[in-house]
Amino acid sequence: MHFTSFILPVSLVVGALATPVPSPLEAFKRAGPAAGQVITKCSSSGMLALAFDDGPYQYTQTLVNTLNAAGAKATFFVTGTLYGCIHNQAAAVKAAYNSGHQIASHSWSHPSNFGSLSTADLTTQMQRLEGALRTIIGKKPTYMRPPYLATGGNVLSAMRTLGYRVITDDVDSGDWNGLSAAQSQARFTQAGAGGQGHIPLMHEVYASTVNTLVPWLINWAKQNNLRLVTVAECLGDAGGAYTTPTVAATSSC
């Protein structure tokens, strides 16, 4: 039996060994939607990305159960302390994550002046929640929705540095402003099911949203042949919703 051997040039071997391996954050920045840029809607048609802010709260598990029963996926933009300590609802957050729903950031304490915070304070807001989510799901989210949809000041530059895709909305359900489920439904009907998929603004802390609006939306999506997906999936980034956490875990609020 005859073997043919060959030797690679030393320069090629050294060059290969010298090629740096990108960090998880750098690898993330090279794929998927850009960090630190405002995204308002899906990248293609035929889908609806249900997105809920301000939780977790007492309705989180009910919402997860409703979505799961319909085979629907959604995104939960969670906070650390807005409606009680996130660790008190850790089981519901884990249930959402384990069911394939997306867990994303809505900051630690939902400050009313989010858009005027310093870069240092914005970083603290995001990293405190990262620490909690490291404890609960073992992941760092790469998507966030800023409190009050504030994207001015230092927000975008800070989110770019931290590696967060910034999500706002293109349909406002108005549940935060006292609109009834029926009034919210009218907003979706008016927006229509055509064009690029919607990323709506909704809040899981209102019983009418969880118990009335969401079941209606599930049916509305079915009637209009829309897939109910996570925000990441509606942006063609189904595998990029998380990176490996770099912030130490925390167990306190």
pLDDT digits (tens, 9 = 90+) for 115-124: 999 999 999 9
CATH numbers and ranges of domains, the chain: 28-243 (3.20.20.370)
Q: How many other C-beta atoms are found inside a 10 Å radius of the C-beta of residue 34?
A: 10
**Alpha carbons 51 and 228: distance in angstroms, whole number:** 10
End-to-end CA distance of the chain: 70
Q: Which of 53, 54, 175, 237 is catalytic?
A: 53
pLDDT at site 13:
38
Going from the C-alpha of 97 to that of each of 79, 102, 184, 222, the distances in angstroms are 15, 6, 27, 23
pLDDT of 71 > 70? The answer is yes
Alpha-carbon distance 238 to 62, whole Å? Answer: 24
pLDDT digit string, tens, across residues 75-96: 999 999 999 999 999 999 999 9
Contact 107, 125 (CB under 8 A): yes
Q: Is 87 a catalytic residue?
A: no
DSSP 8-state secondary structure symbol assigned to residue 147: G
Mean pLDDT of 210-236: 98
Using DSSP, state whether 68 is helix, strand or coil: helix
Q: Name the band, by pLDDT with cuts 50, 70 and 90, for residue 9.
A: very low
Q: How confident is the model at residue 16 (pLDDT cuts 50, 70, 90)?
A: very low
Q: Give pLDDT, residue 46.
A: 97
Give yes or no for residue 213 having a pLDDT over 70: yes
Distance in angstroms (rounded) separating the CA atoms of residues 117 and 38? 18
pLDDT band at 31 (very low <50, low <70, confident <90, very high): low
Q: Which pLDDT score is estimated for 23?
A: 52
Residue 12: what pLDDT? 41
| Active site annotation includes 53 | yes
Residue of 101, 106, 198, 203 marked active site: 203
E strand segments, 97-251: 102-105, 140-141, 143-144, 165-167, 171-172, 200-203, 227-228, 242-243
HSE value, Cβ hemisphere, 13 Å, CA-based, for 85 = 8
Average pLDDT, the chain: 90
- Report d(CA 44, CA 65) in Å as an integer: 27
Average pLDDT over residues 109-128: 98
pLDDT for the residue numbered 27: 47
Bridging pattern class, strands 47-48 and 227-228: parallel
**pTM score, whole prediction:** 0.88
Residue 60's pLDDT band (cuts 50, 70, 90):
very high
Residue with more model confidence, 1 or 47: 47
Q: If pLDDT is split at 50, 70 and 90, which confidence band does 238 have? A: confident
